[in-house]
Structure 1
Amino acid sequence: MYSESSQDEQSTETAGISKAVTGIKGLDEILMGGLPAGSLTLINGGPGTGKTILGSEFIYRGAIESEPGIILSFEEKAESLKNNALTLGWDFRKLEKENKLSIIQARIDPQAVLSGKFDFSGLLAIIDSEAARINAKRILIDGQDVILRLLDDLVKERNELQSFKNWLDDNQITTVITIKKYSGDFNRYEFLDYLCDCVIQLDQRVHNQIATRRLRVLKCRGSDFGRNEYPFAIYLNGVQIIPVTTASLQHNGLGESVSSGIEKLDELLAGGYRRNSCNLISGTSGTGKTTLVCSFVSSICQKGEKALYIDFEESQKAVVMGMRSPGINLQDHINNGLLKFHPVMPEALGVEEHLVRVFHLIEEFNPGFLVVDAISACRRMGDKHAAFDYILRLINYCKQRGITTLLTNLADNEREGREITGIDLSSVIDTVILLRNVEFQGRLNRLLLILKSRARAHSSQCHLFKITDNGIKIGGVYSGAESRG
Structure 2
Amino acid sequence: MTGGGLEVGTSTLISGPAGSGKSTLAAQFVHAATKRGEPCAMFLFEEARSKLLNRADNVGMRLQAALDTGLLNAQQIDPAELTPGEFAQAVVDAAERGARVIVIDSLNGYMHAVPDERFQSTHLHELLNYLGQRGVVTLLVGVQQHMPGTCMTTSADASYLADSVIMLRYYETEGEVRQAISIFKKRGSAHERSSRRFEISPQGIRIGPALAGFHGILSGLP
Q: Which residue of structure 1 aligns with residue 104 of structure 2? A: 372
Q: How does 1:90-109 map to 2 (within 5 A)?
A: none
Gaps of 5+ in 1: 1-267
Q: Which residue of 1 aligns with 2:208?
A: 475
* CA deviation map 1:335-394 (0-9, x unaligned): 11100012112233221122123323433x321111111112223121433432332222
1:69-94 CA-partner distances (Å, limit 9, x unpaired): xxxxxxxxxxxxxxxxxxxxxxxxxx
Distance change >3 Å, CA 376–CA 356, structure 1 → 2: same
1:209-228 matches, within 5 Å, as none
- CA gap of 1:303–1:371, structure 2 versus 1, over 3 A, is same
Residue aligning to 1:404: 137
Greater relative contact order (Cα 8 A, min sep 6): structure 1 or 2?
2
1:316 positional shift = 1.5
- Return the alpha-carbon distance in structure 1 between the equivalents of residues 159 and 168 of structure 2: 16
Letter in 2 for 1:477: A
Aligned to 1:425, what secondary structure does the other structure show?
helix
Aligned to 1:391: 124
Q: Is residue 351–residue 389 contact of structure 1 (8 Å, CA) maintained in 2?
A: no
| Aligned-pair CA distance for 1:421 | 5.1
Tell me the TM-score normalized by structure 1: 0.42
Contact 2:95–2:136 (CA under 8 A) maintained in structure 1: no
Taking the aligned partners of 1:354 and 1:322, their CA distance within structure 2 comes to 25
The equivalent residue for 2:70 is 337
SS in structure 2 at match of 1:437? strand
Tell me, what secondary structure is at the counterpart of 1:323? helix
Name the CA shift for 1:451/1:370 in 2 (closer, same or farther; >3 Å). Answer: same
Number of residue-to-residue matches in the alignment = 217
TM-score between the two structures when normalised by the length of structure 2 = 0.88
After superposition, residues 2-81 of structure 1 pair within 5 angstroms as none
Partner of 1:422: helix, strand, or coil?
helix
Residues 347 and 380 in structure 1, CA contact (< 8 A), matched pair in contact too = no
CA distance change for structure 1 residues 430 and 328 in 2, over 3 Å: closer, same or farther? same
Q: Is the 8 A contact 1:387 1:423 kept in 2?
A: no
Contact in 2 for aligned 1:368/1:402 (Cα 8 Å): yes
- 1:442 is matched with which residue? 175
Q: Structure 1 counterpart of 2:90, which letter?
A: R
Q: Is 2:100–2:137's contact at 8 Å kept on the other side of the alignment?
A: yes
* % identical equivalent positions: 29
Cα deviation, 1:409-451, whole Å, max 9, x if unaligned, reads 0113598733575362333311111100112231111011111
- Partners of 2:60 and 2:23 in 1: CA distance: 13
Structure 1 residue 404 displacement after superposition: 1.2
User: Residues 271 and 376 (structure 1 numbering): CA distance in 2 closer, same or farther, change over 3 Å?
Assistant: same
1:289 offset after TM fit, Å? 0.4
Structure 2: unaligned runs, 5 residues or longer: none
Residue 458 of structure 1: how far off its partner (Å): 0.8
SS of the residue 1:452 aligns to: strand
Distance 2:148 2:127 in 1: 25
**Residues 320 and 385 (structure 1 numbering): CA distance in 2 closer, same or farther, change over 3 Å?**
farther
Which one-letter code corresponds to 2:201 in the other structure? T
1:193-242 per-position Cα deviation (integer Å, ceiling 9, x unaligned): xxxxxxxxxxxxxxxxxxxxxxxxxxxxxxxxxxxxxxxxxxxxxxxxxx
- Does the residue aligned with 2:191 lie in a helix, a strand or coil? coil
CA RMSD across the alignment: 2.2
Aligned equivalents of 2:148, 2:11: Cα separation in 1: 22
